[in-house]
Amino acid sequence: MFSSFPFRTAKKILFGTGTIDQVGTELKAYGASNAAIITDTTIAAAGWAAAVQSALDAAGMKSKVWDGSQAEPSVEVGEEAIDFVRSGGFDSIVGLGGGSAIDIAKGAAVALTNEGHIMQWIKEGFSKPLAPMALCPTTAGTGSEVSDTAVFATPELKVGLVSSMLYPDVAIVDPALTVSMPGPVTANTGIDALCHAIEGYQSIQANPLTDALAIESMRLVNAYLRRAYCKGSDMEAREGMALASLLAGIVMGNADTTIGHACGYAYVYPATNLHYPHGHAIAITFPYVMEYNALAQFEKHAAIAEVLGEEVEGLSVRDAAYLAPVAFTKLMQDLRLPLSLEEVGVTEDMIPMIARNVLKSPNHCRRNPREVTEEGMIELFSHAFEGTLAWEM
């Protein structure tokens, strides 16, 4: 017997090389005539903002570019974008970039139709539907183009603006936009996509639809991330990773994440002074999260091990499950990612504090398939500190 479940995503998804050319006709269909393009200087310098402007122009739309997006955007940076869009006579938004630009674009689209500011919306919500919005990722990882969340940083912590109104009118996933990503960025964003798929698969909010998409996303990452990392111009690999990221984003938009993301947040800024890219931060502790959760979900972790390329035939489901973190670690080795917390500047005396930080993310803990205890997290981070799986010891 199947339980009932909801399933939400963007109103429309356009996937494929060259689909960015349709951004103008898509927004025009919503009656838009003047778009603000929210992006960053790197994407603008690569020529993608100009390409979007050409597509908007071809559809008879006016546009202007705001390129002030930064990694892990602060509330202040988001407010700068809001000042820009409110003063420019715009009626629609294009988000063009990685997760940061896309999250800022969501805030800008709220600002065009609602009074107030980001922190106010986070605390009190907002009521009016957003201005027409197209979200166009230039990395294959965050999945923010199909999520209902926009994340901003304050000096104390990261805060999320969450609303079903943040799903865009159209998500345009054009793999050609990801070709210029250097190898380390490909690795950082691609491993983040894989963590979204696996955490969504582990989540107690998972359902048969998200499970099917998560497994396919993992298969695509296993087939294409190494290729995209080794040769950025490999278009089949870029398309495979763009699709993997999209599927993982849809999974995350419904099943959300488990303690994988909470463990990654627990040891980097603002919890400590350590700065590390999002995907890397989560990946370093992720094998230990998989090992922790495998005990609660042998069948699911055995399926993860198999789809990530481990030989599971003839093994017990328990032995197969514990190969899932082994497969993940092999991918990290191939992508030249650090494999222990010690390598990235964490010291042993920080472990109890970092372990307690995970418990400060009650929603991640609630969605986790295995109960999250302080003792359990200390054990998890002790293994992550050494970079040694208990299964291997």
Q: What is the 3-state secondary structure (H, E, C) of 329-363?
A: HHHHHHCCCCCCCHHHCCCHHHHHHHHHHHHCCHH
Tell me the residue number closest to Fe ion, measured at CB: 192
Closest approach, Cβ 195 to Fe ion, in A, equals 6
Question: Burial, 347: exposed, middle or buried (Cβ in 10 Å; 0-12, 13-18, 19+)?
Answer: exposed
For Fe ion, give the closer residue by CB, 141 or 175.
Answer: 141
Closest approach, Cβ 361 to Fe ion, in A, equals 13
User: Phi/psi of residue 381, each to 5°?
Assistant: -70, -25
For Fe ion, give the closer residue by CB, 55 or 213.
Answer: 213
Cβ pair 82, 108 in contact under 8 A: yes
CA distance 202 to 22: 36
Q: Which amino acid is at 40?
A: D
Closest approach, Cβ 207 to Fe ion, in A, equals 20
For Fe ion, give the closer residue by CB, 49 or 225.
Answer: 225
Q: Which amino acid is at 162?
A: V
Closest approach, Cβ 172 to Fe ion, in A, equals 20
For Fe ion, give the closer residue by CB, 192 or 256.
Answer: 192
Give first-to-last CA distance, the chain, whole Å.
Answer: 40
Residue 56 CB-half CA count within 13 A: 24
Closest approach, Cβ 196 to Fe ion, in A, equals 6
C-alpha angle with apex 322: 241 to 245, nearest 5 degrees? 15
Closest approach, Cβ 87 to Fe ion, in A, equals 32
DSSP sequence for 44-81? HHTTHHHHHHHHHHHTT-EEEEE-B--SS-BHHHHHHH
The verdict on whether omega for the bond into residue 270 sits within 30 degrees of 0, i.e. cis, is yes
CA 258 to chain centroid: 13
Closest approach, Cβ 261 to Fe ion, in A, equals 6
Question: Burial, 274: exposed, middle or buried (Cβ in 10 Å; 0-12, 13-18, 19+)?
Answer: middle
The label of the residue with tokens 């998804």 reads 13
For Fe ion, give the closer residue by CB, 238 or 261.
Answer: 261
For Fe ion, give the closer residue by CB, 40 or 192.
Answer: 192
C-alpha angle with apex 110: 107 to 116, nearest 5 degrees? 90
Closest approach, Cβ 323 to Fe ion, in A, equals 24
Spell out the long-range contacts of 111-119 with Cβ–Cβ below 8 A and sequence spacing 24 or more.
Answer: 111/82, 111/85, 111/86, 112/85, 112/86, 117/79, 117/82, 118/75, 118/78, 118/79, 118/82, 118/152, 118/161, 119/75, 119/159
Q: Which residues bind Fe ion (CB under 5 A)?
A: 192
The label of the residue with tokens 């923010």 reads 144
CA distance 348 to 334: 27
Residue 147 in tokens: 């999520």
Closest approach, Cβ 147 to Fe ion, in A, equals 10
For Fe ion, give the closer residue by CB, 168 or 277.
Answer: 277
For Fe ion, give the closer residue by CB, 26 or 192.
Answer: 192
Closest approach, Cβ 217 to Fe ion, in A, equals 13
For Fe ion, give the closer residue by CB, 132 or 137.
Answer: 137
For Fe ion, give the closer residue by CB, 256 or 310.
Answer: 256
